[in-house]
Copies of this chain bind each other. A is one copy, B any other.
Amino acid sequence: MGGVRIVAIMKLRSIGLATALAVGSAGSMLAADADIAALKAEIAKNHDGAVARLQDWIRRPSVAAENRGFPDGADHLIALLKEVGFQHTERIDTTGKPGVFATLDAGAAKTVGIYFMYDVKQFDPTEWKVAPPLEARIVDRDGVGKVIIGRGATNQKGPQAAFLAALDAFRTSGRKPPVNLVLVAEGEEEIGSPNIRQIVYQPHVQAALAKTIGVILPMGTQGIDGGVTVNLGAKGVIEVELTSDGQAWGRGPMRDTHSSFKAMVDSPLWHLVQGLSTLVTPDGNTPLIDGIFENVRPLTEEEKVQIANAARKLTPRQYQAASGATKWIDDLPFQAALERLTSQPTVNIEGIHGGYTGPGGKTILPHRASAKLDLRLVPNQTAEEVLGKLKAHLVKHGYGDIDVNFTGGYNPTATSAEAAIIKAQVAVLKRNGVDPVLWPRLAGSYPGFVFTEPPLSLAAGHFGLGHGGGAHAPDEYFVIESSNPKVSGFDGAAASYVDYLHELAR
């Protein structure tokens, strides 16, 4: 559900991390460091092939909402995983789109879980101005360097391709990774991961994951300034489509009719608008669904301190650029706006449609109208709870006839700052001179719950250098060759996984 793009704006101003990593820090020239240096050289040697692999991948879109590119996307990912050294690969068919399960046994002491998504967000080619969405063209971008343009470039194929390039460097240099890997992938992340349980809870998959120290989602976590934020979780989400229809309501017209009848006939479109209006405060900002705050846990003191620290290092301008907005709700000051971003559940209208929407007017009374909503959830809300409360609210307020079609979603996810996979991230970054912001949770969502909740109860997080932008938007990009020494290019991103896997192995 697009965790990536949000992370991309939660970056610290920081020293030149990519440079620092390339040089290595003095006083830590352990045995592994020679391996790491060799692996980074190998990554550079393999660069052209790895980028070509990413381009080829972008040219094969899988879009779950459009039933496009299945099961091809899963099969192609399996081929990629085999190529970089996974000994076991397996397509896991579900009642929706297939998942992928793969393992790489390096004979190591520790095993790390990896989560991939092979699907991408829908795209409208007419909106892409820099390059077409499926050409994977590499272009110069002012102030950034050479970037690859394409749907999925940063969300999530670019970072995942960098991770594969890291593994490939082990293989082509005749080395074994320092940890074993268990990888699960899905093809429905962008529609709310409706069937991820069918993949992860396959007994042999669950058993394999249970042996890991946590699960990592490869991500280009650097901001345009090179800064990195370490996320300790993400909001949950549910997506629903609300439809008001004369037939279901038993009132209003059963087909579009002449608008003059409005004086004697009810309107399903007004019914939808008035039903929607009960869901939030008049300013559109605070949910009013009955009982929705019942299980909302306020920010802890630790989380408030994390946000206060972040507010000193982040800038409003970064958030303005990322959000396209110039003011925050209630004209809140920046830190309070960040607290709101992190702590508050939301009811958002993704889109609304009903009646005549062509040029000019058309005097009809529509018989049907729909709105697509997403609701973001915070601890300790659950997806099931909020969906139930939404439905109960509509019934109680006289809108029980409005159809609520749940199209996907899941619970919030949280991981402790003390988890091994988080501490390893902080250690790698700090060793290279970066003091990362610990951020309580992404305001975006990803299906980490499937790992962090029982029965697995694993830590889960995102990691990776590199920078991208435009997830879910036109002209999505990922940096291939950075013109900013503080920002890693594709090879730097791959190298960061070499560092991280070694750190996890310690």
Contact = CB atoms under 8 A, between A and B. Distances in A.
B264 A319 contact: yes
A187 to B, nearest CB: 13
Interface string A469-494: 00111000000000000000000000
Nearest to A67: B359
A260 B360 contact: no
Contact of A376 (B66, B259, B364): B259
Contact of A367 (B251, B324, B398): B324
Chain A residues touching B, range: 35 or more
Given A264-B338, A274-B283, A324-B257, A361 B366 contact: no
A297 interface: no
A121 B359 contact: no
Given A352-B269, A361-B241, A364-B472, A376 B262 contact: yes
Contacts of A284: 266-267, 270-271, 273-274
B350 A372 contact: no
Q: Is the interface of A mostly helix, strand, loop or mixed?
A: mixed
A443 interface: yes
B258 A6 contact: yes
Interface in A344-375: 344-367, 369-370, 372, 374
Contacts of A257: 322-325
Nearest to A240: B361
A45 interface: no
A22 interface: no
A152 interface: no
Given A258-B471, A283-B266, A325-B257, A273 B349 contact: yes
Q: Which of A246, A282, A341 has the most CB of B within 10 A?
A: A282
B191 A340 contact: no
Contacts of A461: none
B274 A325 contact: no
Q: Which of A253, A259, A273 has the most CB of B within 10 A?
A: A259
Interface string A233-272: 0010101010000100011111111111111111101110
Contacts of A274: 277, 280, 282-284
Nearest to A319: B264
A260 B376 contact: yes
Nearest to A276: B273
Contacts of A128: none
20 contacts: A6-B260, A65-B362, A66-B360, A121-B362, A191-B360, A192-B361, A237-B363, A251-B325, A253-B324, A256-B324, A259-B348, A261-B323, A262-B285, A262-B347, A264-B325, A265-B323, A266-B285, A348-B365, A349-B366, A351-B362
